[in-house]
Every structure is written in structure tokens, then in C-alpha cells.
Chains A and B, each alone.
Chain A
Amino acid sequence: MSSSGIYQVAYYTMMMNLYNAMAVRIQRRWRGYRVRKYLFNYYYLKEYLRVVSETNDAIRCRRKKIASHGNQRKALEEFAEMKEREEKKANLEREEKKRDYQARKMHYLLSTKQIPGIYNSPFRKEPDPWELQLQKAKPLTHQRPKVKQKYSTSLTDWLACTSARSFPRSEILPPINRKKCQGPFRDITEVLEQRYKPLEPTLRVAEPIDELKLAREDLRRKEWLRNVNDNMFLPFSSYHKNEKYIPSMHLSSKYSPISHKEQFRSEDPKKWICDKDFQTVLPSFELFSKYGKLYSKAGQIV
């Protein structure tokens, strides 16, 4: 019926007007508070001006003193005094903070009603000042150990098949009660496990072949970083003179120590295919790399 519609509209308008009027009242109060507290705080301004005029007076009478003494050294001394005072204050504050921290750590040493603490011995006339400090201190809570993210660089980082391009991983987890797709599909968790299975490289692949040489290079590089000057210290002063050592007649004989290579192997460089000698490297055990991986699901014992 249209008449009840009109009443409803009128009622609605009246209520909205009421709400708006109330909102204006609330906003008025809030705005006044905000302006007085943050935008223009009259008492803060008065306080600031008072402090400024006090500083001005201090400067003026100090300078009058200086002018009457007529000596710049006074200014130096006054300035030094002021600096000293400020430093002492800062030191005192630091000490205070340290003591407070210690009191917080030793809070459990406070005496209880039954048992007097170590600072409140019954044989003393009055308790140690530490006792009062402990009473004032708040107990210190354990800091939860921060979990450090370890940056592990593994082979998986450079293998293409687990890169984000081929298997995009989103940061949010899939919803918990996802409806199962209809059809003869495998369990989704199994599929994801298989898809994102981490790489298990063999022992031979996992370590680089010339690992020892690389480690030596690394060490040499690190040492080189520390050097101020690249010219190495020479063992004695005429080292740079490349004079071949001419041994004396007595010392130069055929009976000199021979290198191990000559001792054990006979080399013929003409027969070498490439210029470089063999690398001394031990092969890995093939047997061990196949351990646990024959006829089985990955990672499980046969």
C-alpha cells in the first residue's frame, strides 16, 4: 500500500537525520581533540616559549659575565664545563640503565616472605641497596631464539626441471577442503610429492672433481683480499736478482734428492696426447651411489 510506503520513507528520513546529527556531535568532539592535541597544542607552545626565553636569559647573563671578564678563555672554560656536565649526565644514565638490566636478570634473587634473599641477610642492620633495586625491577622474559634462515645452495637451485618457470609454485597453500576432481585421478598429495621431489644426486656428481684445487684458490683469494700491497715480502734483500745459485764444488754432486714422480713413474712427454698431466683424483664408488635405489620408490629401503 502506498501510504505505508510514504510512512516508511518518512521514518527512514527522520532516522537518517537523527544519525547525521549525532555523527556531527561525535565528529565535533573528535576534531576538537585532534586539533588541540596534534595540530596546535596551546600549552605545548607556551611551554616551548618559556624554555626558549630561559635559554635566552642563560645565554645573556653568561655572555654578560664573559663581557665583563673580557676574556675569551672564560668562554672556553664555560663551554668545556657545560660539555663535561652533559657527558657526566650521559654516563650516569648509562650506568643506571646497566644496573636496571642486571637487576632484571637477577630478579629471582629477591627475598620471599619465608626465606631472606642473599642481599637481605638477617645479620645485617638493613638490606643491601641491591635488594631495593631488585624489588623495583620487572622480571626479564626469555627472548625467543630468532630462527635464522639458512641459505642453502644446493644442486636443486640450478637444475632446470625444478625452476619456477616449469613448475610454478604459489606462495599461498591450496585450500584445505578442495573438492576432489571427478575421475580416475591419483591422490593430489601423491602427485605433488612426486612432482616436487627434491633432487638426490650421486656422490660423484655432488662434489666437484677438483674440489681441493678450488678450495685452495678460494683460500688464496681470501688472503689476497687482506693484503694491503700486492708485492710480496721477499725473504731476503737481494731476492729479486734472479741469479742462479752456483753451488760450490763440494755441494754439487750427483747424489741429490730426486722427486717422487721420478722415483715411481717414468714419464715420456712425447707420448702425451694433450699437454697436461693426469689429475690426481680418486674415482667414487659406483656401488655406493646405487645404494637403496634399485627397484624401489625413491628414498625408501629396498
Chain B
Amino acid sequence: MHSLTVDLWIPNGQAGVMSLLRPLLLDVVPTIQQTAALALGRLANYNDDLAEAVVKGDILPQLVYSLAEQNRFYKKAAAFVLRAVGKHSPQLAQAIVDCGALDTLVICLEDFDPGVKEAAAWALGYIARHNAELSQAVVDAGAVPLLVLCIQEPEIALKRIAASALSDIAKHSPELAQTVVDAGAVAHLAQMILNPDAKLKHQVLSALSQVAKHSVDLAEMVVEAEIFPVVLTCLKDKDEYVKKNACTLIREIAKHTPELSQLVVNAGGAAAVIDCIGSCKGNTRLPGIMMLGYVAAHSENLAMAVIISKGVPQLSVCLSEEPEDHIKAAAAWALGQIGRHTPEHARAVAVTNTLPVLLSLYMSTESSEDLQVKSKKAIKNILQKCTYLPALEPFLYDAPPNILKHVVGQFSKVLPHDSKARRLFVTSGGLKKVQEIKAEPGSLLQDYINSINNCYPEEIVRYYSPGYSDTLLQRVDSYQPLIN
């Protein structure tokens, strides 16, 4: 009886197993009850069919009923079963809520033993993870103040689980996040950022970012908890998840208003994030790239601040070496936001030779639609302000017509005023290329070409127009030499 552990999985006999285990839960010997509960938990943990079988076998009400009265080992095992059932799908979690388990779990949160508290908090976290109604049910059961108390306990594992549960509750809607803030969680979470444990930090940062992402007021409340500049030290942590979550937190704060972005930049956040992007690879970079894009999008001063923090070379490195399309799309978007404000900004982006890369991404057939759209927008926005001609010249050769229009437009704006540029334009073969462009008369492109041609004397224009050598030879043919 005492050695009953069901580690072997019986494929078609789940129903049989459940009906065998159920009466053992009511056994006189407490160790048997605990082991039976543990067995059920492990079964339910394995896959969701077994979890459904646990629910269908009416085991949950029995568990919930005896949860209130038993010793701490049983409580831990029963909470483990509830967690294992609740993690698979929202319907199973709803079944757990329907059998009244939330109140007993909340009572377990007040228990003395930290293991019981941890198991209860874990179960509540998994239930609240699925959707907003379940989160609201967990909040209505009064779990949030107790979770905030759990965060202050000395055990690290309990802190981690409580932080993760708060993060799962707060992520669904602004009202839920407001509930978490009203319980005073933000101050405690902010203090725990300095804790050396990596997993705890990553849960805490995730919780803060879920709170801050919903609205400006919530983001301001998180900032008021004095997380800057401590969060910037987390960006240099060895653990990848800590870096990613720290970048996510800074991004959620910076995206709301220009004032918040300004605060982040003033604290040195731009440089820290840029260094962090440089030190990671893959999906970990994505929140950092998006953060730079949001900051640069708010105003041109902030975009200039990103440029002087040496953000553009880093972003172009990301653009060229990352294999995944969504990260490239994010980098393209961020570069577009940086370069679209003034000619200074566009020049800063163009100098790093990113425009050809963007063009190739736009033209390549392998890029996803999202990437193509974003790179096209970025190119358009940058080109409309770019007056740095050496970067524009390669575009004359391989750009598609819709982009070519903008390129030629920019040339037509710059060339009338700059004589050195005109000379360079001729010697580098740009004028020749422009003459070869076929444009419909009366279109915008033709207007631009005409204004470029008006900058040069007629002989030069005629010299570079296509077919000039043929006309010259024709003249030779038709020339009557003077016979004297």
C-alpha cells in the first residue's frame, strides 16, 4: 500500500486508473492519501487527456473538500493536482474554478508552510494565465493581497512563483493590472530587481512589464517606483531571459508618451539597450530593437539622441545578420523611424550603408510580406528626407520604378543648388543613367528628370542621352565633305 507510485503510464486504462485512485484519496492512512494525490498530479501533468479524465472522474470536489482539513503534505500534493489540471487549457481551468477550488487555494496561501504557499500560488498562476475571466475569478477570490504578502517572504522559490502569478494576473487587462498595483505590489517588485537570483529577476521584470504595458498611468506608477537606473544594470546580466525581460520593460515604458521616452533616454537607457542588443542574438534582441524604434518615433530630438548613442550601426548589423524575418522587419521599422525626421537624421542612417540592404530586402522574393511592407515604408520615409547624394546613387541603378521616383525627386531638389554635387553626378555616371530612364511625359518622374536636365548645359545632356553615338555616326554618314 505504501509503495504505490504510478510512474508508468497506462495508455488505454486511464479510466481504470482514476477509479482505482479515487477511493485511495479517502483512505484512513494519511500517507496513502498523499501518495494517491501525488500520483494523480503526475498523471494530469503529463497530458491533457489525462487531466480531462481527472476532471470527469469527479475527483476535484473530493480534493477541494479535503484540502481544507489535511496536513501540509496533502495540501501540497492536492495543489499540485490542481495546477497540473489547470495548466492545459482554459476549459479545464474553468472546471477547477467551478468546483470551488479558488477559495481553498486562497486559504492555502495563508498557511504557515512556505511549500504549501508555493504550490497554491503556482496553481493560481496557471489558472489565471489563460484569459481575463479566469484572472478576474482569481482576483475576486482575494488572491492578490496574499500574493503580495508572499512576495515579501524570505524563500526565493516562493518569491519567484508569487511574482510569476502576479505577472499572469496583470497581463490581461488594465483593470486587472490596476488591481495588482492597488495591492501595493509595484514597490516590492521594484525592490526585488536587485536580487542576485536570475530566475527571480526575470519573473519580477516580466511582472513589471505586464503592469506597465496597459496605460500611461500604470507606466508612470512603475517609473515612480524608482526602477531607473537599476534596471539598466539588469541589461548586462549573464542570463538571456533577464536581458530580454528588462528590454521588454523599458520598451513598454518608453512606448506610451514622449515624456516617458525622454525619461528613459535621460537615464542613459538608450546606450544600455544598444549595448544589450549587441551582446545577444535572435529573439532576445527583438524588444530592444522595438524600444529604439518607439523612442525615435516620438520626436526628432529623441531620434537624434538615439543616433548619438550609436544606435544606427547596431541596428544595421541586426538588419543584415539576423536570419529571422520578424526581427529584420522590426529593425527596418526602427531605422525608418530614426531616419524620417530631418535630413540630418536621414544622412546618419544613409552613411551606414543600410539603404541598399533595405532595398534588397524589399526586392527579394523570400522575404515575408510584413518585412517587404516595412522595408518599403522605411526606404520611402528615409528617401524623402535624404540629401546625402553618394548614398542615393546606387538606387538609380537597381531600384524599382516606385522608389526610383523618390530618388530622382531628391536629386532634382539637391542638384540645382550644389555645383560640386552636379560635377560628381556627371562624373559618376548618374546623369547618363537618368537619361536612360523612360518616363511618361507629364508624370512626376518626367518633371524631375526635366528639372535635373535644366541644371546642365544642353550639349552635356545631349552627349549623355542614349543613342547619341548613333546620331553622331548618322551625321558622319550624311556629311558631304568639302571637295576642294
Contacts and interface: CB of A to CB of B under 8 A. Distances in A.
A137 interface: no
Interface residues of B, number: 23
A79 B232 CA distance: 11
A98 B301 CA distance: 39
A60 B274 CA distance: 10
B233 A56 contact: no
Interface residues on A, range: 20 to 34
A66 B275 CA distance: 14
Contacts of B305: 48-49, 52
Most buried by B among A45, A63, A67, A79: A63
Given A45-B301, A76-B194, A79-B230, A55 B267 contact: yes
Given A48-B301, A76-B194, A63 B236 contact: yes
Contact of A72 (B229, B237, B271, B304): B237
B453 interface: no
B266 to A, nearest CB: 7
B270 interface: yes
B194 A60 contact: no
A132 interface: no
Most buried by A among B229, B268, B309: B268
Nearest to A46: B304
A75 B304 CA distance: 29
A73 interface: yes
A58 interface: yes
Interface string B262-298: 0001111011100100000000000000000000000
B196 interface: yes
A106 interface: no
B400 to A, nearest CB: 37
A52 B309 contact: yes
Interface in B244-270: 265-268, 270
B271 A59 contact: yes
A248 to B, nearest CB: 51
Nearest to A50: B308
A102 interface: no
Contacts of A289: none
Contacts of A59: 229, 232, 268, 271-272
A72 B233 contact: yes
B308 A66 contact: no
Most buried by B among A55, A66, A79: A55
Given A67-B236, A72-B237, A75-B233, A55 B196 contact: no
A53 interface: yes
A59 to B, nearest CB: 4
A58 B267 CA distance: 10
Most buried by B among A49, A51, A60, A72: A72
A60 B273 CA distance: 10
A49 B308 contact: yes
B266 A52 contact: yes
28 contacts: A45-B304, A52-B268, A52-B270, A52-B305, A52-B309, A53-B308, A53-B309, A55-B266, A55-B267, A56-B268, A56-B309, A58-B268, A59-B232, A59-B268, A59-B271, A59-B272, A60-B271, A60-B275, A63-B232, A63-B272, A63-B275, A66-B233, A66-B236, A72-B194, A72-B196, A72-B233, A73-B196, A75-B233
Across the A-B interface, the 8 shortest Cβ-Cβ residue pairs: A56-B271, A59-B268, A75-B233, A55-B268, A63-B236, A72-B196, A52-B305, A56-B309
